Amino acid sequence: MTGKPLRVLLVEDSERDAALIMMHLRRGGYEPTLERVYTPMEMQAKLHYSDWDIVISDFNLPGFNAYAALKTLKESGKNIPVIVLSGQMNQSIIDGVTRAGANEYLAKYEMQQLVPAIERALRSRPAEA
């Protein structure tokens, strides 16, 4: 039995975290197609040439962060839900990324909440015009 297809654009520099995300998605009933990007230019290209169901972004990468990822997504004109993951919880960061357009913010130690967060984000996505 295969899971539900899910196209994930992942802004993440850690191979370990990417593997953990894949494991949680598969355990949650998804069969993800996942592409990782590390820079705004890579993200722009992937957004331009492919369709995605969700963007999952680490909060902070060397030279790139969730705010830049949200800005890149907004500039693309695409309406794709975004979940931000971070190693730390800080209310001002949560408020900031939410105001910048993220659907959810999760601490990496709360990875068991990833699939429910994805499902909420996908349900809240407006239909394409």
51, containing H or E segment:
none
In a domain, residue 128? The reply is no
Residue 50 neighbours by CB under 8 Å, 6+ apart: 7, 9, 35
Does the global pTM surpass 0.75? yes
Q: Which of 4, 80, 73, 84 is nearest to 40 (CA)?
A: 73
In a domain, residue 129? The reply is no
Rounded Cα–Cα distance for residues 25 and 71 (Å): 25
Angle at 99 between CA 42 and CA 91, to 5 degrees: 105
Rounded Cα–Cα distance for residues 27 and 46 (Å): 26
Instruction: Give residue-wise pLDDT tens across range 72-127.
Output: 999 999 999 999 998 877 788 888 898 999 999 999 888 999 999 999 999 987 65
Structure tokens at 52: 């995605």
Rounded Cα–Cα distance for residues 35 and 33 (Å): 7
- Fill in the amino acid letter for 78: K
Residue 32 sits in which domain range?
Answer: 4-123
Q: What's the confidence (pLDDT) of residue 93? A: 81
In a domain, residue 109? The reply is yes
Q: What's the confidence (pLDDT) of residue 129? A: 41
> What is the count of structural domains for the chain?
1
CATH code of the domain in which 89 resides: 3.40.50.2300
Structure tokens at 57: 């972004």
Instruction: Give residue-wise pLDDT tens across range 31-58.
Output: 999 999 999 999 999 999 999 999 999 9
